[in-house]
Amino acid sequence: MRGLDIFLFEWKHFVRSPFKIIALLLFTVACIYGLDNGADLYEKQNSEIEKLNFISNQKKETIVAYFENGKKGPQNRPRVNITKPYWAIKNVPRYHYKNPSPAIVYNIGKTEQYGFYKSITTSSSPYDTDMAKEIANPERIQSGTLDFSFVVLYLVPLLLLVLIYDIKGAEEEQGFLPLIFVQTGSKNWWILSRAVFYFILLLLVLFVLMLYGALLTDVFTVANAFWNIFLCITGYLMFWFVIYFLILKYGKSTVSNTIQMMGFWVLFVFIIPAAIQQWVSIEKPTNLMIDIIDVKRDKTSDIYDQSTQLKDKQLFNLYPSLKSTEIAKDSILIKGARRSSIIALVNEAMKEAIAKIESDHQTKNEIIVNTYWFNPVTYSQNKLNQFSKTHFNDYESYREDIQKSVDKRIKIMVLDIWNNVKVDKAKYLSYFEILN
Amino acid sequence: MLQIIKNEWRFLVRSHLFFGISITFIFILILSVFLGNYETQKQKQSRKNAKNHIRQQWEKIDQLNPHSAAHYGTYIFKPSNLLSSLDEGVNSVTGNVLRVEGHVQNEITYSGASQIQSISRFGSLKSSLLLQYIVPLLLIFLAFNSVSNEKQSGRLKLLVLQGAKPFQIIFSKTVAVWLYGLSLLILVLVFYGILNIHNFTVEILIRSTLFLVAYTLYYFIVSGLTVFFSTRWQNATLALTSMISIWIFWTIFLPNILMSSAEKWHPLPSRYEFKLAMKKDRSKGLDGHNPSDKRAIDLKIKVLKEYGVDHLSALPINFDGMRMQADEEYGNSVWDKHFGNNRKLLKKQKKTFQLGGVLSPFISLQNTSMGFMANDNLHHQEFLLQVERYRRVFIKTLNDKQTYGGSKTGNWGWKEDNAFFKSVPDFKHIPTKIGLVFSNYILDLVLLAFWFIIVLILIILGAKKIQIV
């Protein structure tokens, strides 16, 4: 019996096994449900971003109208003077977004742990409370959304088990295994051909389901996302295939093979990731952000209480060009400029605290990365997160971008205050352009 | 019957494979309790340090205007619960730090899960993970061929000839396997009790007993159903694969699908919609920081009339503090309305999910496990409510001081001394008593009992239809 015959014979075997067909159908339904969940999230986030952009533009138009009507701000807030850089920049609406990747359809990843938009002001920080995640049921977040990657990572090994668990065992129990070996010539080849049939079948099903996912969002607009994810899934499937094949090859009966397969599944899916999570939380407990809280409270008031000489020194170190401005030489005007610029010093202190926290996160993540070699499920999950731009590192970059945006806003504000810039409509619109 | 159970255990103990697996598993179970406990103690200490640090900052305030102190605010750290070493529930995703301040009700932030990349989808290695997922699998592996083996070897016929009734045989085999699960469960609880002997309270005892009851029922359901399949199917492989399929459906497939669907059926508002609605309602109230606000002027007229004076300066109190408090109280009613709506939706989602227990007893087990260990969303919401209640008292204390502490309207430079700030009480978390929330878990327990009865009926039917020869 040649490989192709064994292969074709397996097709007959498969279509005559209602148990296996039901399992595959259930799996397909779960995948479609997962893909729809991913697409829903993608749509939801994009529609929120659209709404926020609309609000942002509306706010901008309101300020532009003040300039056009010769007003300095809203009537009920006489303090506001939008011709001053301080107030003009304060009134430049800006949301920073973590735009969802179309590949989110395959994998939601860490998306639900974080917010995806942030209003930026000069006093913003990437650890503000408005960075909180979307309102959701914590019990659902804890158990995780049923997305495509969940089905792939946790159910694919089980489906493969259901499809191949009785290879060799069933024949052995029915007593015609020696006959098959005589007919096929090679025991390994026969087991491999049969198992490969299910491997290919599963891969095909997954590929078709991924194509369905690609119809829901524009996955192909993201360079290589589709193929990278498919490759990752193939590798993951291959890992389980090898383990199961070895069990089938050396196994003695269907029952013992099934138990061993389940044992490996439990080990890789539950025990190892859970033990690592436990280890990380003991080794590096959750950061309670005391460093940030300290900056927001004590450090900020310390900065405000500093001597004017020290404040000036720090400001000139931060922005050397301030020293040569006219305001720096004016003992009266410098007071107001200095007061409005203190936020830059607070921002620097905040950045130092954030650096400590990010380094703490990094240490935890390094522990996890070092376990990848014996933790394939976590490795694959994080690889998928990378491809769908929902990895922890993507949110770290998002936080870095927020910080850069805040830095830029503060810098423009401070320089323009010290250079006594007068803001008009054109200048305001240029602020809007630069800061968006 | 007792003899059959004893015999079953003798067989189990004689099996080297079973013995090896059991010893390894017992070691992992004990380790999980120990590590869980160690983690909880460590968390407790770090939260205590953080709490003391924040309180020290507060008590160090020398001279400050009370309303400025309301803006300075404080921070509350979600306390770790002794029972979380058994089942951490939603703790890893709910956030740990809550800023308490005037005018704003902040949300709890900085969850453990947001600080690391993805690791385990099923949480850390707590006893609950092993007891919920792994022990039932062990029970399935022990029970799947318990009757079919007897049939194939002819021992079943022998037992019946000796006078044993088929029901007695099947039921005894179920009990034998169930007792194995039960002993692992008791081992966990006893070890947990030893580690926490000094902190043991009646509340913990009640909660642990309920935890035990829920798992006991679930283990019987799994053991009984597997033995039933072993009775019905001629082939042990079929019994094993049927039961594993059911296990997958119950524990992996259904809970995830149902939870995601429950959130779709009772959708929570998006953060943007929620904030917008809150802002809209808030704008209908009084703006504490804007004296020219129409509602603030109305309040001013009312207060002037009450005190029988013409000008704010003639008031014996500070009207600014009163206006701030009025603003707070309006804000509180807006919060009650909107967060109340969210809580209602969360309750509906929970109820829908609980009803899923009709299809999967695992759902009922999961709900009761984290609920009885005080770490489900219900207990989390109770904690948030306690913080909000504290926030209201905290801010009112400060605003009242501003109003009645001796300053006059407009005197923002007036400051209170350190003794006052030291006198402001700190937040004290009062753990939710099981008696107050028990009604929320009745449905889960009823559904577990329902499954228990169903399995019992199946065993009786299985015994009637069993083919001895």
Q: If contacts are CB pairs under 8 Å, which of residues 448-467 in chain B contact chain A?
A: none
Residue A187 lies in a domain: yes
Instruction: Write down the H helix ranges in B60-165.
Output: 66-72, 127-129, 135-143, 148-153, 155-161
CB contact under 8 Å between B117 and A290, yes or no, is no
pLDDT digits (tens, 9 = 90+) for B255-311: 988 998 999 999 999 988 998 899 888 888 777 666 667 777 888 888 888 888 888
What does the alpha-carbon distance between residue B302 and residue B319 come to, in Å, rounded to a whole number?
11
At A1 the pLDDT is 56
Closest Cα of chain A to B35: distance in Å? 8
Q: What is the ipTM of this complex?
A: 0.89
Residue A118 lies in a domain: no
Contact: A274, B255; criterion CB under 8 Å: no
Contact status of B357 with chain A (Cβ, < 8 Å): no
* Token pair in block for residue B234: 């001629």
B265–A contact, CB cutoff 8 A: no
Any domain includes A218:
yes
Q: Which residue of A has its CA nearest to B61?
A: A298
286-305 of A, contacting B, C-beta below 8 A: 286-290, 293, 297-298
Q: Is residue A130 part of a domain?
A: no
- Does residue A246 belong to any structural domain of this protein? yes
Range of A261's domain? 3-21+147-273
Residue A12: inside a domain, yes or no?
yes
Between B56 and B13, the more confident residue is B56
Angle between helices B202-232 and B442-465 (to 10 degrees): 30
**Which whole number is the average pLDDT over B140-151?**
85
At residue A223, the pLDDT reads 83
- How far away is chain A from the Cα of B309, in angstroms, using its nearest Cα? 27
Q: How many CB atoms lie within 10 A of CB B316?
A: 9
**B148-187 residues touching A, CB cutoff 8 A:** none
Please give the Cα distance from B55 to B49 (Å, whole number): 10
Residues with Cβ < 8 Å from B449, sequence gap 6 or more? B217
- Tokens representing A377 are 């499920």
Average of per-residue pLDDT values in chain B:
90
- Give the pLDDT score at A72: 85
B268 and A136 within 8 Å at the Cβ level: the answer is: yes
Q: pLDDT at position B165, please?
A: 86
The band of B212, judged by pLDDT with boundaries at 50, 70 and 90, is very high
The residue ranking higher by pLDDT, B107 or B365, is B365
Query: Sign of torsion, CA A308 A311 A317 A323?
Result: negative
The verdict on residue A257 lying in a domain is yes
Looking at chain A from residue 3 to 22, which residues have their Cβ under 8 Å from any Cβ of chain B? 19
pLDDT at A275: 94
pTM > 0.80: yes
| DSSP classification of residue B454 | H
**Structure confidence by residue, pLDDT tens digits, B84-119:** 999 999 998 998 999 999 888 888 988 888 999 999
- Residue at A202 is within a domain: yes
Which residues, numbered 39 to 58 in chain B, qualify as contacts with chain A under a Cβ-Cβ cut-off of 8 Å? 39, 42-43, 46-47, 50, 53-54, 57
Nearest CA in chain B to A282: B39
Per-residue pLDDT of chain A (436 residues; tens, 9 = 90+): 566 787 788 888 888 888 889 889 989 999 999 999 999 999 999 999 999 999 999 999 999 999 999 888 888 788 888 899 999 999 988 899 999 999 999 999 999 889 999 999 999 999 988 888 888 999 998 887 889 999 999 999 999 998 998 888 878 777 887 887 777 777 888 889 899 999 999 999 999 999 999 999 989 988 899 999 999 999 999 999 999 999 999 988 888 888 899 899 999 999 999 999 999 999 999 999 999 999 988 899 899 999 999 999 999 999 999 998 888 888 888 898 999 999 999 999 999 999 999 999 999 999 999 999 999 999 999 999 999 999 999 999 999 999 999 999 999 999 999 998 999 899 999 999 888 8
**CB-CB: which of A76, A154, A298 is closest to B121?**
A154
DSSP H or E segment with residue A97: strand A95-97
Interface test with A, best of B48, B91, B119 (most A CBs within 10 A): B119
In the stretch 119-158 of chain A, residues with CB closer than 8 A to chain B read: 127, 129, 131-146, 150, 153-155, 158
Instruction: Look at residue A3 in the predicted model and tell me its pLDDT.
Output: 67
B122 at interface of A, judged by CB pairs closer than 8 A: yes
Question: Is pLDDT at B416 greater than 90 in this prediction?
Answer: no
Predicted confidence at residue B204, as pLDDT, reads 94
Domain count, chain A: 1
% of chain B residues with pLDDT over 70:
98
